[in-house]
Structure 1
Amino acid sequence: MCEALIREGVEVMFGLPGGAIMPFYHAMWEYRDKLRHILCRHEQGAGHAAEGYARSTGRIGVCIGTSGPGVTNLVTPIADAMMDSTPLLAICGQVGSHVLGKDAFQETDITGITMPITKHNYLVKRAEDLPYVFKEAIHIATTGRPGPVLIDITKDAMQKSIVPNWDVKLNLPGYKPNYHGNRKQIREALRLLAHSQKPLIIVGNGIIQAKASEELRTFAERMGIPVLTTLHGIGALPENHPLNIGMPGMHGWVHANRAIQECDVLLNIGSRFDDRVTGKAGTFAPHAKVIHVDIDPAEIGKNVKVAVPIVGDARNVLKALLEDMPAQEELAALHSNASDWMEHIREMQDQHQGKQQYVNRAKTRNMTLPPHDVYAELSASLNLRGEYHVVTDVGQHQMWAAQLLDYNHGPRTLITSGGAGTMGFAVPASLGVAVANPDHIVWAICGDGGFQMTNQEMATIMQEKITNIKVAVINNGYLGMVRQWQELFENKRYSGTPLTGPDFVKLAEAYGWKGIRVERSEDVRAAIEEANNTNGPVLIDFRVEREVNVFPMVPQNKSIGEMLITDGD
């Protein structure tokens, strides 16, 4: 197993040992100079750390758990990886094959449990099968649309002595991802774009997974078409690029959503039209002919009617679009239309955006620490530094991080849990990001709710002597996003959302971290500078105003054209 991982280029694993997986850990000792094992405090933390490693590098992340509760604790990160197309390998110990199906101690049918949330999974009972299974599993996890693969291995298979056969060739007749889009469809897409009055490009995680940022920039610039980036597409085109008009969707910008509702041709590359982007799907982009580029054919037409489907890798399709692009003189009309169209979008932006505008200033004037002030200082600090990653948990703080931080330094700078919306993601995921990028500063932004789910991985960070992680807790004493919905739609019935916690500064110090508490806006900058200049992990407890809401916001079952803009709407 160790040799198989090394042969596939694996260098780091995150895990927790136990009875059924002990033979693997016994073998690891001999490979400790080639395979770095990071002992996490909980298997969920190990899974999220492997996700962070994978999301920040594009390489496979590896997590390990023992049978029973060990592997069931990996279910949440496996589901998260499935929703966010993250290449993940989960290695699980299983009870001996002679007691399978007999309710042996710590036996759990993990292949059955994870069948709906993995690209593929295996139950291995023979040591002879391991070389092929590992090779195939990593191939499946990292090709096509990436995703999680699980290998469950019985303890007796791990205890058997064999001479492995490494001369194995993959045999996957039913698995042939299409990397090159249909050329006829590509030319039809170009024809629609060239004759449009109000063209728009929306890009998602597929651009980042395919390493297609440069091709995207070149294509958008040559065509002159405005670009929207989804939550997972942030960074695919720098936010200070003149063609980037921001994030659409439930908490996207008003001008971005209205542009979608007005456009006549919409080119979607590597975004799956999820409900947080579309709002009520039947009302999404009502005037547009939709071109959808995705490597997963199951996503095309699933949520939004498509005029031109293109199945392929985002980078290869963009290269083909560039190769078949009409001559510049033929694009003159498009450039003229696109210029007028962009001017119209910017007018809407001037009217509605102003990044601080969506918090009711009359309401916040007397606040000692509005959350927006934290993000303004953090954004300025990060963009001065350049080499950074932001990892967020899920909730209000996540949406503020997407809205209010300026991501001008390329892809993979924002790493967050999107499809599954997993609270507790940020601290362990930041561990994986920091291991993969030791020269970059890594800011984990958490709410006080999600932070209390997985903060035990602070001990892992100390044990591993990781110094480049800084944690910002946006502490408002609530499960904030749920409370916001209760305020706006449930007559302020705050059922199950007021939240207490320990003294986070003392908690940080107990783990050996530096802890800082900030309660006033005028102290934010100094605290962030102190954290950045500290050679070691730092936690800042930002005691923000308790009842500030995230705006804009699309209510449930509403069109993205029907947005709440402030508390007064």
Structure 2
Amino acid sequence: MTGSEILVQTLIYNKVKFLFGYPGGAIMPIYDSLFTYKKQIKHILTRHEQGSIHAAQGFARVTGKPGICLSTSGPGSSNIITGLADALIDSTPLLCITGQVSSKLLGTDAFQEIDIIDISIPVTKWNFQITKPDQIFEVISKGFHLATNGRPGPILIDITKTAQVEDLKKGIIFPDKTKQKIKTKNKINKKDFQKVIKTIKKARKPIIIIGQGVKLANAENQLKQFAEKTNLPVASTLLGLGILKTNHNLNYGMLGMHGNYQNNILILKSDLIIAIGLRFDDRLIGNITKISPKTIIIHIDIDNYEINKRLKTTIYLLGNLKHTLIFLSKSFKLNTTEKWLKNFKLLNKVERKYIKEKELRETKIGITMPEVINYINLYKNKNCILVTDVGQHQMSASRYFNFTTLKSQITSGGLGTMGFALPAAIGAKIGAKRRQVICIVGDGGFQMTIQELGTIMQYEIPIKIIILNNNFLGMVKQWQDLFFNRRFSNTKIYNPNFTNISKAYNIKSKKVFLKENLKQDIKEMLKSKEAFLIEILVEKEYNTLPMIPTEKSVSKICF
């Protein structure tokens, strides 16, 4: 059995059904073995390696399983670095397998040789180079384990051509998976738990902030129970959206730079912040020195590295969030925080009056981004998944989209990778075949991975693509508008006819210029059973508000 056969059988052993990749010289033996096992594993050929890794991310985010990505050596492997960085900061489980030149050529600057191991160290949870076929099963199995256990993340395994083609005469015996089950439980420190419970019960102005860690732990229902038992207001990070339904009475939406007014104002007045599965990044909390030193911070997470990294924690609990939330919920019947909740409701009305209603009253002649999201809410399926790129459209969608089901939001959070959405939507649809997938992207980001329309065409992937086109790099323009005296340096972008390009890929498309056509055209797109691209020309003079200027206190939120 050759090393490449061992690799493919190891993937099958780990129940891999789909993988994403792009072949090349140094990984050809593995692709040859994939041909033998094409009934067991379906390979999705993307049009660029960055497309394959973002597709693997989309697959992982909806399934919770590691997304599998293949690329060849040299430029093939270096093209996945952005995706690795994105996956590391957003805790996405990936197993990326790169081909490498023959073992005897390592270090000789052979054709398409780069030291992908050293290059990828900062952007992977773990990486390893395989030079012998007898290493493959053990290393790949370790990669699967590390990708999903603890805080999830990307794994890169580089396999020399020698290891792929050499024959392992003894073959390999795959262990019985039923005997490998390892039960893991939280090491519950009852003193810390009791301290947390007493602190929550004493607090008069507490707030819960939830992040993607809750999704990664599949603890959405446990979070909902905890929030309802404590009767506390819940704010969310960008990646935490969708954990609670948008219309849940305790859900006050997003916190941070473009978050909801009530959250950003009242977090500074709270006497207790309960942070669950998040990083306290700069876009979430702004200038941390404005948080009162008297405010108690409870941080609940699986990763010790995040504790006290940016904001000094008063009490912390480490471990699996699902187990932690179950334990905490048992200690509450119903807290009475109605007076504190009234403040959230009052300020929510302020934002609704001065921001949301204003944007949806159709005061502008042109189409605004919130109007588009509002019509999507009317006609989308209840089980739909929202995939967004990076920019103004991302923030508008996050603020106005009606999340109604679990695992319903995919976006590039920590790295902010333009070009992420289109391939990620492909991966999401492969991973969740029966769910509707809506991809919202700006005209700038769309052109960074536009070639993936070819992947959609080849595999007939019925995703819905909405390009919000303002002929600008919108978020950069917004900053130039607000902070650089409207000096719009190199942000105006001249675009091709996106609908004609879509038609060239045999994808149905429409362009919307007028408000009166918007509602019907969105309905037509979302009811279609095929892939559908709709380009909507939106207002150029539009800023996504509210907004907190960078490095400023959340209290400096501006309308």
Deviation at 1:167, TM superposition (A): 5.2
Distance in 1 of aligned mates of 2:64 and 2:532: 27
Select 1:233's aligned residue among 228, 237, 240.
240
What is the aligned partner in structure 1 of residue 189 from structure 2?
182
Of residues 227-236 and 176-185 in structure 1, the stretch that sits farther from structure 2 once superposed is 176-185
Distance in 2 of aligned mates of 1:255 and 1:79: 33
Question: Pairwise mapping of residues 326-365 of structure 1 onto structure 2 (< 5 A)?
Answer: 326=332, 328=333, 335-336=335-336, 338-354=337-353, 356-357=355-356, 365=363
TM-score, normalisation: structure 2? 0.95
Contact 2:383 2:404 in 1 (8 A): no
Q: Secondary structure at the match of 1:228?
A: strand
| 1:514 pairs with 2:513 | no
Contact 1:359 1:550 in 2 (8 A): no
Q: Secondary structure at the match of 1:353?
A: helix
Distance in 2 of aligned mates of 1:428 and 1:127: 32
Distance in 2 of aligned mates of 1:157 and 1:167: 19
Of residues 516-525 and 281-290 in structure 1, the stretch that sits farther from structure 2 once superposed is 281-290
Question: Pairwise mapping of residues 540-551 of structure 1 onto structure 2 (< 5 A)?
Answer: 540-551=534-545
Amino acid at match of 1:275: D
What is the aligned partner in structure 1 of residue 3 from structure 2?
none
Deviation at 1:63, TM superposition (A): 0.5
Deviation at 1:226, TM superposition (A): 1.1
Gaps of 5+ in 2: 1-6, 178-182
| 1:17 pairs with 2:12 | no
Residues 1:64 and 1:97: Cα distance change in structure 2 (over 3 Å) = same
Once the two structures are superposed, residues 538-562 of structure 1 have per-residue CA deviations (whole angstroms, 9 ceiling, x without a partner) of 1110000112001000001100111
What is the aligned partner in structure 2 of residue 173 from structure 1?
none
Amino acid at match of 2:436: I
What is the aligned partner in structure 1 of residue 280 from structure 2?
273
What is the aligned partner in structure 2 of residue 82 from structure 1?
88
Distance in 1 of aligned mates of 2:373 and 2:446: 18
Q: Secondary structure at the match of 1:231?
A: coil
Question: Pairwise mapping of residues 56-75 of structure 1 onto structure 2 (< 5 A)?
Answer: 56-75=62-81
Amino acid at match of 1:40: T
Q: Secondary structure at the match of 2:468?
A: strand
What is the aligned partner in structure 2 of residue 558 from structure 1?
552
Q: Secondary structure at the match of 2:509?
A: strand
What is the aligned partner in structure 2 of residue 459 from structure 1?
454
What is the aligned partner in structure 2 of residue 475 from structure 1?
469
Amino acid at match of 1:88: L
Deviation at 1:359, TM superposition (A): 5.9
| 1:133 pairs with 2:127 | no
Contact 1:200 1:225 in 2 (8 A): yes
Contact 1:199 1:264 in 2 (8 A): yes
| 1:398 pairs with 2:394 | yes
Deviation at 1:370, TM superposition (A): 1.9
Q: Secondary structure at the match of 1:233?
A: coil
Deviation at 1:501, TM superposition (A): 1.3
Distance in 1 of aligned mates of 2:366 and 2:201: 52
Distance in 2 of aligned mates of 1:182 and 1:46: 43
Distance in 1 of aligned mates of 2:354 and 2:409: 18
| 1:248 pairs with 2:247 | no
Q: Secondary structure at the match of 1:267?
A: strand
Residues 1:344 and 1:286: Cα distance change in structure 2 (over 3 Å) = farther
Contact 2:26 2:73 in 1 (8 A): yes
Select 2:429's aligned residue among 431, 434, 447.
434
| 1:114 pairs with 2:120 | yes
Distance in 2 of aligned mates of 1:483 and 1:54: 33
Contact 2:386 2:409 in 1 (8 A): yes
Distance in 1 of aligned mates of 2:357 and 2:417: 26
Once the two structures are superposed, residues 498-533 of structure 1 have per-residue CA deviations (whole angstroms, 9 ceiling, x without a partner) of 001110110110010011001122211111111122
Count of matched residue positions in the alignment of Structure 1 and Structure 2: 547
Deviation at 1:437, TM superposition (A): 1.3
Distance in 2 of aligned mates of 1:359 and 1:16: 47
Contact 2:203 2:271 in 1 (8 A): yes
Deviation at 1:355, TM superposition (A): 8.3
Distance in 2 of aligned mates of 1:104 and 1:89: 25
Contact 2:359 2:370 in 1 (8 A): no
Amino acid at match of 1:352: E
Contact 2:70 2:96 in 1 (8 A): yes
Question: Pairwise mapping of residues 163-242 of structure 1 onto structure 2 (< 5 A)?
Answer: 163-166=170-173, 179-242=186-249
| 1:386 pairs with 2:382 | yes
Amino acid at match of 1:443: I
Deviation at 1:391, TM superposition (A): 0.2
Once the two structures are superposed, residues 63-87 of structure 1 have per-residue CA deviations (whole angstroms, 9 ceiling, x without a partner) of 1100000001110111100010000
Distance in 2 of aligned mates of 1:494 and 1:198: 43
Deviation at 1:165, TM superposition (A): 3.2
Deviation at 1:209, TM superposition (A): 0.5
Distance in 2 of aligned mates of 1:522 and 1:182: 60
Deviation at 1:356, TM superposition (A): 4.8
| 1:487 pairs with 2:457 | no
Residues 1:82 and 1:3: Cα distance change in structure 2 (over 3 Å) = same
Q: Secondary structure at the match of 1:20?
A: helix
Residues 1:343 and 1:184: Cα distance change in structure 2 (over 3 Å) = same
Once the two structures are superposed, residues 62-116 of structure 1 have per-residue CA deviations (whole angstroms, 9 ceiling, x without a partner) of 0110000000111011110001000001100000010101100000111101101
Residues 1:53 and 1:371: Cα distance change in structure 2 (over 3 Å) = same
Distance in 1 of aligned mates of 2:328 and 2:136: 42
Deviation at 1:259, TM superposition (A): 1.9
Q: Secondary structure at the match of 1:194?
A: helix
Contact 2:19 2:44 in 1 (8 A): yes
Deviation at 1:5, TM superposition (A): 0.8
Contact 1:208 1:233 in 2 (8 A): yes
Distance in 1 of aligned mates of 2:237 and 2:471: 29
Deviation at 1:367, TM superposition (A): 1.9
Residues 1:344 and 1:41: Cα distance change in structure 2 (over 3 Å) = same
